[in-house]
Amino acid sequence: MAFGRQAAAYGDENKRVEGKGAVGKGATRVPLGAAVGNNGRRALGDIGNLVGAMPSNAGGGSQKQGALAERAAYKRGLGAVNDKPTTRLAAKSAAAAASDAPAAAAAAPPLPSNWGAHRRRDLITKPRNDLAPEGGAPSGTGRSSGVSERDPLASINSNSLHPGAAAARMAKQVEARVLRKKKLGTHEQSTTSKLLAQSAAVSGNADAEMEDADEALPDIDSADQRDPLCVTQYVEDIYAFYKRTEGQSCVSPQYMGRQADINDKMRAILVDWLVEVHLKFKLTPETLFLTTNLIDRFLALHPVTRKHLQLVGVTAMLIASKYEEIWAPEVKDFVYISDNAYDKDQILAMEKLMLNTLKFNLTVPTPYVFMCRYLKAAAADKQLETTAFFLVELCLVEYAFLRFTPSLLAAAAVHTALKTLNRTPWSPALHKHSGYSETALRSCSFLMSSIHRKSATASLTAVVKKYSSSKLYCVALLPPCPESPIDDTCSSSD
């Protein structure tokens, strides 16, 4: 058996079977120092790897000489067949080494097998003064006997037998050097040190000013320190990452020009109908925002006919529901809500096509993600929160708002909601956490207030009806942000 032979090969090295070298019945124990046969194995001894160890000729000289002679004979034979210059040179070198080996072995005195260990211990524990020439420094130090005693290293080497006196002398010399450097530093300060001191002072003042400004702003995450779901230790980094990567989930505001059979008005009708479906199924707000994002990204990459546009919409909401909801609607629910315009197989086929087209990239920062953060920075109540969501959902229907990033759209919605409710328009906390000033929000906020003004008489009324209910504080019935020449936000655009 292969396993038995392998197990026998890794057996006890002291157990041997006469004539076979395998461990089994009848195995005899061989002493450590005894010689064994060709099939046996000998315990390892000193292999000359100790510090300062020298090769021993006990029991191994004849074997080494035989190996060298055998190698030289082999190379001589090889040279006869393949007679090249490099081969002849190697053969001559091997022959010379083989002829010198017996003489070297005879000249070397016999040494104990543990010579290296004793020699290493002597070198470590005993001083090396015996290796230095008379009247000079020990070898390896590179110093002569006439070296100045002001050098601490020379003091230690010359007084190795009195370490206490040498240490005291070295301490005094170090103290004298420090005093001498201090005196030089008071009179001759280098240009580099001056520049470093000035830079440290300026950076220290800037850091102090930034710390003072941050301390003046309220900590919006202080109330959630004990809530692990709020991840207050990482929330700033998370939103900084969202802002850096939000452009990857945005689409070109001119992508509809590449569609041959649909236009922006059809897209608006589809999104307005999906707002009603979203309300009918009582889904979360995240699902609606992700649905709109999936529709735009898919239409920007894949041409769609007019009769399949609704199929794209219901499939996008199915995917978003699976991603965001705990209990997502089933496929048969979307078949029913689309009035049997599409069957189950068509929806599943479109789901496969959409996911492959988008490369399964569903984790994207939508305006809803930024809305939560900005409303928290604004210390918003329910009325302000509902008004901001009403304005941003009005923008989902409009194709013109695709030119704004999700973070800018969310910030403009909060800003316009504050102006609509006659509250403080933009606080330093909102400026800090959003990264946008009122000037940067001017164009988007003006367009948003214009859409709000036209919503009462628009043909697409799903968002207005949704936010006209008493559960949502009837914010759709609030008067829009008034236009005024003094108002930079609602009266002019970039």
The answer on pLDDT for 130 being more than 60 is no
Task: From residue 480, give the alpha-carbon distance in Å to each of 132, 303, 383, 451.
Answer: 99, 38, 14, 9
* Nearby residues of 143 by Cβ (< 8 Å), 6 or more positions away: 137, 153, 154, 157
Same fold, 246-357 and 367-477: yes
pLDDT higher than threshold 70 for residue 115: no
78 vs 491, which has greater pLDDT?
78
Give residue 221's identity as a one-letter amino acid code: D
Q: Which helix (H) or strand (E) holds 15?
A: strand 15-16
How much is the pLDDT for 294?
A: 97
Beta bridge partners of 29: 15
| Res. 140: pLDDT tops 70 | no
Q: Which strand (E) or helix (H) includes residue 77?
A: helix 61-81
For residue 42, pLDDT beyond 80 = no
What's the pTM?
Answer: 0.57
In this prediction, residue 424 carries a pLDDT of: 81
What does DSSP assign to residue 86?
H
CATH C-level class of 246-357? mainly alpha
Q: Which of 431, 477, 486, 425 is nearest to 452 (CA)?
A: 477
Tell me, rounded to whole angstroms, the distance of Cα 78 from its chain centroid.
58
- Taking only the tens place, the pLDDT of each residue in 284-293 is 999 999 999 9
Measured from the Cβ of residue 278, the count of other Cβ atoms closer than 10 Å reads 22
Six-digit token pair at 85?
A: 């210059």
What is the Cα–Cα distance from 138 to 65, expressed in whole angstroms? Answer: 40
**What are the sequence ranges of the domains in the chain?**
61-103, 152-179, 246-357, 367-477
Residue 481 has pLDDT above 70, yes or no: yes
Kind and range of the H or E run holding 29: strand 28-29
Handedness of CA 449, 452, 453, 459 (dihedral sign): positive
Who contacts 126 (Cβ-Cβ below 8 Å, separation ≥6)?
Answer: none
Helix axes 235-245, 367-377, angle to 10 degrees: 140
Residue 270 has pLDDT above 80, yes or no: yes
Q: Within 10 A of 330 (CB to CB), how many other CB atoms are there?
A: 12
Read off the pLDDT band of 200 (50, 70, 90). low
Q: State residue 45's pLDDT score.
A: 53
Query: To which residue do tokens 């190795």 refer?
Result: 160
C-beta pairs of 338-342 under 8 Å, 24+ apart in sequence:
338/310, 338/311, 338/314, 341/310, 341/311, 342/310, 342/311, 342/314
Q: Are 39 and 21 in contact (CB under 8 A)?
A: yes
Higher pLDDT: 41 or 462? It is 462
Instruction: Please tell me the CATH code under which domain 367-477 is placed.
Output: 1.10.472.10
359's tokens: 């490369």
Which tops the pLDDT comparison, 3 or 225?
225
Nearest CA to 410 among 236, 214, 242? Answer: 242
Q: Distance (Å, rounded) from C-alpha 337 to C-alpha 330?
A: 11
Decide if 287 contacts 317 (C-beta within 8 A). Answer: yes
At residue 28, the 3 state secondary structure works out as strand
pLDDT band (50, 70, 90) for residue 222: confident
Angle at 266 between CA 263 and CA 271, to 5 degrees: 125
DSSP assignment of 190-252 equals: -HHHHHHHHHHHHHHHHHHHHHHHHHHS--TTGGGTT-GGG-TTTHHHHHHHHHHHGGGG---
Check whether 58 has a pLDDT greater than 50. no
Which distant-in-sequence residues (6+ apart) come within 8 Å of 59 by Cβ? none
Joined together, the tokens standing for residue 293 give 């994002």
